[in-house]
Chains A and B, each alone.
Chain A
């Protein structure tokens, strides 16, 4: 089966750091993606990990441990505009048949 778990909601303060965790159990694995989605809008790509370790991209970093089926998204210097849903997704196969399987999303509220 396919199972991707992430917390439903998180709250953080402007300027702080927040870590959103994601655990997965999928029948196949060919990369883990993080997307940001504002209410009623399209998901937008944030980061991609296929090998273990940390990928840094400005204020956003993402970590992957394939042996533990675990990833996190780290957001630094939080801004009010970072209030959104953060979606963890696993690509189940490489190439033409691969699709993204999404978790339920973590609703992040950034408070002043």
Chain B
């Protein structure tokens, strides 16, 4: 157990629907990162939150949004789902204060299948 908790582990839904993926970071970590990994693709950075505020944005579609709550858990909302959104979605957390750190810890991921 990495300490980063993602739910649900698996999700099957139809095109056009909306889903919410949840991530609880490791205790003490203030930063949450969301990544998408499609079949045979690398990890694509979507968005980062630090202590409730958005800090960095990658190639995240307008149909996708995220937020980080006061208790530091984060949710990734995916709407108007398309077949191409089928992927593994990973959350990672880190302390992300100053200085070097090794603390990018990944959750076990949510496998989303859009049918």
Contacts and interface: CB of A to CB of B under 8 A. Distances in A.
Given A40-B88, A94-B98, A95-B96, A100 B104 contact: yes
Contacts, number: 65
A104 B97 contact: no
B18 interface: no
A97 B56 contact: yes
A42 B108 contact: yes
Contacts of B48: 97, 99
B21 to A, nearest CB: 14
A97 to B, nearest CB: 5
Interface string A100-112: 1111110000000
Contacts of A95: 96-98
B45 interface: yes
A95 B89 CA distance: 24
Chain A interface extent, by class: 20 to 34
Closest 9 CB pairs of A and B: A104-B42, A42-B106, A102-B43, A96-B50, A102-B42, A97-B55, A42-B108, A43-B106, A99-B56
Interface of B: 2, 30-31, 33, 35, 41-45, 48, 50, 55-56, 58, 88, 90, 92, 96-100, 102, 104-109, 111
28 contacts: A40-B88, A41-B108, A42-B90, A42-B106, A42-B108, A42-B109, A43-B90, A43-B106, A45-B105, A48-B100, A48-B102, A50-B100, A87-B42, A94-B99, A94-B100, A95-B98, A96-B31, A96-B50, A96-B55, A97-B48, A99-B33, A99-B58, A100-B33, A100-B45, A100-B92, A101-B45, A102-B43, A104-B42
